[in-house]
Amino acid sequence: MEHPVGAPDPGEGDSQLTAADWTPTEGDLPEAAGRRLSDTAWSSGLSVPDFAATIAVGLEPASVVQGYAVLQWSWYAGARYRSTPLWGSGRSSGQYAEQWQCPHGFVGAEHRTWGYNAEVPWVQDSWAQGWGLAYKRMVEEAVAAGAHGVVGVVDDMQYLAGGYTAEFRISGTAVRVPGVRFPRQPFTTYLAGQRLAKLLEAGYAPVSVVAGLSAVQMFGYCITQYQLSGTVAGSTWASTGVESVHQVNRAQRAARHLARQRISEQLAGDALHGAVLDQFEHEAGEGDMTVQCLLKGNRVRRFKPFDPVGVPEPVVRLG
């Protein structure tokens, strides 16, 4: 599939793809999908209660819309060290990188005399590329369906073919608002039904779903290696103490902060509601680790003055 005209090419280092980046002018929608979406029949992926609540707010379901992208990832191919901030030009561009030096002096050839924590840009960019492509394709379908937005968005990713191929999929229900001017691009939200109604009643407009993945690689120096194995230099007679594993803590914190930073950069002053953080880590051996954090949520914008609801009264239900 070619990228739609007007959309930034996600393959050229744009790791912060958001709906706000794109005003579709000419899409890459499959011809059959275009015909189906322009038909008068509508479909909805909402549950019946969500469907009823969505209609009550004034949103009319137009079509179930989807976006897919299958990408090959070469995480550990030749480019492995190319963009690591410690060696490349990344450090000067503000990417996270830290080094640790062994306090022992020369001990042996296998002694880890230094260690590092570093942001892994190619993992982050690959994920953003796949997610961004799937997102754009879903939005493109919503535009073809004449929708103002997409509600009840569901997204996930799964590995195919041994873990080096990733399938991104995003879907939702495109909705129309009769008689209302179209926004610059369709809004998207993970919310639907009563939760969306409450958001609107509270004075927040859904802007878009946002997601960001951060990845930090840790190569432990001698102290970290000892702390994670409980021993000193592999001996059974000398052990580490009960102490904070400083290098791991720094890597874990950096991964979370990077994920939050990537999301914050997409907000442009708006607020994020209902954030969900998923953290993954892979220990490649004693002292080595990759930490990834996926953060996503609903970007919302206030459209009317703050109007708090009254203090709720507690109730006890009988029967």
Partner 1 sequence: MTGPEHRLPAEGMPADHTPGPVDLAAALAVLTDGGATAAASGRGTTSDLSIDEVLLLHSIGWEPVDLVFGVSWWSIPWGAWQWQTGEIADASAAFAGAVREASDLMREECARAGGSGVVGVDIGLRVASHHVDVTLTGTAVRRIGDSKPGFDFISDLSARDFALLTRAGWWPVGLAAGASFVIAPRRTAKQWASQQGQNMELPNLTNALYLARENAMEAMQRSGLDMAAEGIVNVKLREGPLGHSARIMQFVAFGTGVRLQEGTHRPVRPDMVVSLDERVREFDVRKLRNTGRR
Interaction residues for partner 1, span 133-192 (CB under 8 A): 148-149, 177, 179-185, 187, 191
Touching partner 1, residues 182-241 (CB under 8 A):
182-185, 187, 191, 195, 197-202, 204-205, 207, 227-231, 236, 239-241
By the rule CB under 8 A, 57 interacts with partner 1: yes
Report, in Å, the least distance between residue 90 CB and partner 1. 23
Touching partner 1, residues 11-30 (CB under 8 A):
20
Report, in Å, the least distance between residue 31 CB and partner 1. 29
Residue whose CB is less far from partner 1, 106 or 181: 181
Report the interhelical angle of 193-201 vs 48-57 (nearest 10°). 30
Kindly report the number of other CB atoms within 10 A of residue 267's CB atom: 18
**Which of residues 119, 140, 141, 270 is near partner 1 by CB under 8 A?**
270
Which is it for strands 149-160 and 187-188: parallel, antiparallel or unpaired? Answer: parallel
Q: How many CA atoms lie within 13 A of 163 on its CB side?
A: 2
Report, in Å, the least distance between residue 93 CB and partner 1. 20
Strand partners, 281: 291
Q: What is the DSSP string of 6-29?
A: TS--TTTT-----GGG---SB---
**Which of residues 272, 290, 292, 294 is near partner 1 by CB under 8 A?**
272
Residue whose CB is less far from partner 1, 158 or 236: 236
- Among residues 47, 109, 82, 51, the alpha carbon closest in space to that of 233 is found at 109
Report, in Å, the least distance between residue 243 CB and partner 1. 6
CA dist., res. 59 & res. 186, Å (int): 13
Touching partner 1, residues 275-294 (CB under 8 A):
275-277, 279
Report, in Å, the least distance between residue 165 CB and partner 1. 30
CA dist., res. 186 & res. 194, Å (int): 20
Q: Which three-class secondary structure state does DSSP give residue 274? A: strand
Touching partner 1, residues 86-105 (CB under 8 A):
none
